Structure 1
Amino acid sequence: MDAAGQAVMAARKDLFSKALSVPGRLHMAAHSHLLWPDATLAAQVEAWEDAVVLADHKWDKALGEVYPATQGLVARELNLPSSDTVVFAPNTHTLLAVLKSAVARRENGKPVRILSTDGEFHSFRRQAQRWGEAGEIELTLVESEAPDFAERFIAVARRGDYDLIFVSHVFFKTGDVFDRVWELAELSRPEGPWLVVDGYHGFRAVPTDLSDVADRVFYLAGGYKYAMAGEGAAFLHAPPGFGSRPILTGWYAEFGDLEGPPGGVGYTADAQRFMGATFDPSGLYRFVAAGRMLEAEGLTTAKVAEHVGGLMRSLAADPPLKGAVVLNPPGKGPQARFLALRHEKASAWKQALAERGVVVDVRDDVLRVGLSIYHDEADVAAFREACGGLA
């Protein structure tokens, strides 16, 4: 029972028995690389066996059964009106590049005007900087750690003339949650600007309902983190009518009912218009296995977030790394699934903890401690003990 006398969900270590059996390791980086549940092993084997047994016809199953199942899982999690708006790719960088190529101004040879922040993940940060060097985009950045960030970003978006607005729902370094991001949907329209929300640290971490904005918002995320599927299963929710003819296009985008000029390059009307070419489908098998496991066990994002939230409050109440500043102390609203601890010794602490068998990660001067459904108070206590003597 918790302090209010309510039942607290027990950690589900049983679902991760293989990953947790690795000796001498305390995994406290569930935000960075969430351990794979046991259910994904059978899925990985199934993908291999399908390739052997079905050979050329493995794609009938991969695209005809597994792919629609992944779309359905995403649609249910985000409360989307249709699963047809979901497209998968090996990584978010691929989807970002295809998305940017669909902006009409790029086809006219003019720089794409993008509004974003200085706190975006490297897949966007690096590519945007290079696009800027090449004169392909005009980039405006808002400081993500400013105290009045939400008000400032929304104000800049409203008075600017942009083609794309790209911003995180949950910032990867600080864990700050931009819970007003959905207000920007009122600005989004097919002729521009387009609102693109990076949901990688929000998907299956923060309960997210897109039903009211699904017709105006792009949502980019994947399976590597909280969806527990590993790499190779990134996805994009693409609203109908936005970006009908990407310039960067793979041959899978021409499967189905095509639209386009006579004799020209045709595209499907659904999200498959953003699809690439041949890929390794095993990530999708794992995505389905992990997603079905969560549904079968009744492990909704809200329930897991509640479990993790209790552990985070316990850890944040008395941070074991003295002198560190907790950038995202747990509050009443949505929160990231990790604590961000800022200190000049963050990198040294990470190395020292690694030598003690504890896995955490660092972004610049921020040490991040990620918790999940396979953690309990004993793990928090073990982490505290491992931090002993670090100064």
Structure 2
Amino acid sequence: MTMLDLSAHFTQFRAAAPNRINLACHSHHDWPDVTLAAQELCWRDAARLAGDKWGLVFSELIPTVQAAIAKHLNLPDASTIAVAPNTHEFLRRLLSCFPADRPTRILTTDAEFHTARRQLERLEEDGLVAVTRIATEPFASFGERFFAACRAGGYDLVFVSQVFFNSAATCGDLQQLTDALPSRDTYLVIDGYHGFMARPTDLSGIAARAFYLAGGYKYAMAGEGCCFLHCPPGYGARPRDTGWFADFGSLAAPPGKSVGYPEDAGRFLGATFDPSGLYRLAAVFDWLAREGIGAEQAHRHAQALMARFLDAVTPLNIAGLRREDLMTPFGPATEHGNFLTFRTSRAGEIETRLAAVDMHCDHRGDRLRFGFGLSTTAAVVDEAVERIARALAG
């Protein structure tokens, strides 16, 4: 496994908080220095072009971002990618594609992030959706159980995370998942927020069948406001939740309908948004290309750092941070996200005590998480373990 040292590219974030160690999993990943120039470019383009900036955004910026996303996911057609400020917009838009005269039948898991969890629970309260949830634990049998539920059929929508946010376990092989669906009418949505730019992901074999939802807040290191949805052709032709940006491009409406939609991913666009996140994301993609770094290198880097972290923290024998406390076994033969999750009743206490020494992780209930991105170096991990020992050992 190969560790990188890209600290020279993160000087602005480090200088702003030189004592901070950021191993938070779900929260804000550090941004590389190129994003500062991108943020300034967004401002200057607005000053130079005012309202005409949208011509640049749609003709140059969005196609640049689409092309880079398509390259990293091995998608055959970049025009299948729509952008939005957050993934919740896309979730609403997807849910608005189904018939309104009966509950939408949904298959999902008990470990989806709050964007989906909260929205689906609220819709359940009013009988607008009927949700079947498959338990992710035990992880060893999850794929078998979930694929069996898929094969049983009868669902309008299957929604599942590529990497589960509260464990780092994966949903399994995406091609096998797609193949398990008996009806092509079933929408398959893969939430790739903890997979995109964290794990090598090749969607070429399922691009015509599956939606893929992700964003730049974490592993793409571009911050807020730059999420995307890969939209397979022929699915979701006319979302009821639609914004005026979907009016851009060539529009078509079925006979008797007055609202037209483009046939490409523009049919899933919303309305006016702050484009600065896309500027930052484009700059990150350009920087990664110059450095020759993709998701495979990022994943190997994170694996090496996680191994280093575990080798150093295990001898401390801290309750809650032992190997037996790991929710998902870590090793070369395991499928894993780029973070470690420990199950412990001390999760909140440990996060608080580490924050007191400016060492940042995060927790969800009894799950304590440590994330490892491209801004993290071996030296950062070593210092993190020293602070853990100081704050928790003894």
Is 153-162 or 209-218 further displaced after alignment?
Answer: 153-162
Per-residue CA shift, 1:118-139, capped at 9, x if unaligned? Answer: 1000000000000111111001
Which position in structure 1 is the counterpart of 2:71? 76
User: What pairs up with 1:108-127 in 2 under 5 angstroms?
Assistant: 109-127=101-119
Q: Does 1:42 align with 2:43?
A: no
User: 2:197, 2:219 within 8 Å by CA — same for their partners in 1?
Assistant: yes
Per-residue CA shift, 1:248-292, capped at 9, x if unaligned? Answer: 111111211112134511000001101011111111101100111
Mapped to 2, the partners of 1:131 and 1:151 lie a distance apart of: 28
User: 1:342, 1:365 within 8 Å by CA — same for their partners in 2?
Assistant: yes
| TM-score (norm: length of structure 1) | 0.94
Mapped to 2, the partners of 1:67 and 1:295 lie a distance apart of: 17
Determine which of 129, 132, 136 is the counterpart of 2:121.
Answer: 129
SS class of match (2:228): strand
Which position in structure 2 is the counterpart of 1:140? 132
Determine which of 267, 275, 300 is the counterpart of 1:281.
Answer: 275
In structure 2, list runs of 5 or more residues that go unmatched.
none
Which position in structure 2 is the counterpart of 1:166? 159
SS class of match (2:225): coil
TM-superposed deviation, 1:329:
3.1
Give the share of equivalent positions with the same residue, in percent. Answer: 44
TM-superposed deviation, 1:190:
8.2
Determine which of 323, 345, 350 is the counterpart of 2:319.
Answer: 323
| TM-score (norm: length of structure 2) | 0.93
Which position in structure 2 is the counterpart of 1:182? 175
Which position in structure 2 is the counterpart of 1:87? 82
Partner AA of 2:309 in structure 1:
L
User: 1:119, 1:171 within 8 Å by CA — same for their partners in 2?
Assistant: yes
Q: Does 1:56 align with 2:51?
A: yes
Which position in structure 2 is the counterpart of 1:5? none
Partner AA of 1:184 in structure 2:
L
Mapped to 1, the partners of 2:267 and 2:392 lie a distance apart of: 52
Which position in structure 2 is the counterpart of 1:384? 385
Partner AA of 1:284 in structure 2:
L
User: 1:31, 1:371 within 8 Å by CA — same for their partners in 2?
Assistant: no
Q: Does 1:340 align with 2:335?
A: no
Mapped to 2, the partners of 1:368 and 1:75 lie a distance apart of: 30
Deviant stretches of 4+, over 3 Å? 187-191, 317-321
Determine which of 223, 228, 231 is the counterpart of 1:235.
Answer: 228
Which position in structure 1 is the counterpart of 2:204? 211
Mapped to 1, the partners of 2:182 and 2:45 lie a distance apart of: 42
User: 1:190, 1:242 within 8 Å by CA — same for their partners in 2?
Assistant: no
Partner AA of 1:363 in structure 2:
R
Per-residue CA shift, 1:341-363, capped at 9, x if unaligned? Answer: 11111100100101101111111
Is 214-223 or 306-315 further displaced after alignment?
Answer: 306-315
TM-superposed deviation, 1:188:
5.0
Change (3 A) 1:267 1:321: farther
User: 1:84, 1:270 within 8 Å by CA — same for their partners in 2?
Assistant: yes
Partner AA of 1:280 in structure 2:
D
Mapped to 2, the partners of 1:296 and 1:68 lie a distance apart of: 19
Per-residue CA shift, 1:215-252, capped at 9, x if unaligned? Answer: 00000000101111100011100100011011111111
Is 181-190 or 36-45 further displaced after alignment?
Answer: 181-190
Change (3 A) 1:353 1:9: closer
Which position in structure 2 is the counterpart of 1:96? 91
TM-superposed deviation, 1:33:
1.7
Mapped to 1, the partners of 2:182 and 2:209 lie a distance apart of: 6
Superposed CA RMSD: 1.6
Q: Does 1:266 align with 2:260?
A: yes
SS class of match (1:18): helix
Q: Does 1:295 align with 2:295?
A: no
